Amino acid sequence: MKSTALLLPLALVLLASSTGCKKTREQIIQEAEEKGREMTEEKAGIVKGVGDGLQGEGKKAGESVAKGATGVVKAGFQGAKQGIVELAPTISEQLTAAGVKIERASMPLAEEVPDAAKRKRSVKVYLILDKPFAGDITLIARDSGSKELGRTKMAVKEEATGKNFLFTFDDPLVALDLATSIELR
């Protein structure tokens, strides 16, 4: 009898809870709306915190981004500079005695010689003429083993000056992409 007396209230509690706890559609919608509001308020709080943080740290972040962008631009210029193929120049004693000095030699850039076929067969040489010069200058292109790749001649008639001269090889088979040095005679 004691066990029946205990089971009866327990059964009534279970029965009441199963029928009384069933939520209506309106209650489910209302709870979902409340949960959505809570989540929105939480996310809005996060966004507000980010905004507040950016007011203080945003300036530092902006400066950091600007410094990084400046570094990228500088590196781009360095890369372009490194893209220039410098050639080790030498000059004959005869030209040196005539007042001709060679400052530098390189393969020309696309903006200097737009015609790609001509650019592949050309060498740009900056010469300093200490006095007026009239005569032929021969350029000999050499590879890393000092083997001759080809030669070209230019008639020069200039007053004392310093300027770039573009030596172009007529032979399309001259492989200037292998050139590491030039010699002027």
CATH number of the 88-184 domain: 2.60.40
Say yes or no to pLDDT of 183 above 80. yes
Q: Please name every residue paired with 31 in a beta bridge, in sequence order, or none if there are none.
A: none
Note the pLDDT of residue 161. 93
- The dihedral sign for the CA sequence 96, 98, 99, 102: negative
Q: Read off the pLDDT of residues 9-42 as tens digits, 9 standing for 90 and up.
A: 555 555 555 555 578 888 888 888 888 788 788 8
| In the predicted structure, residue 75 carries a pLDDT above the cut 60 | no
Average pLDDT over residues 119-138: 95
Domain boundaries, the chain: 12-80, 88-184
Sheet holding 161-168, edge to edge: 100-106, 122-129, 161-168
45 backbone dihedrals φ, ψ, rounded to 5°: -65, -40
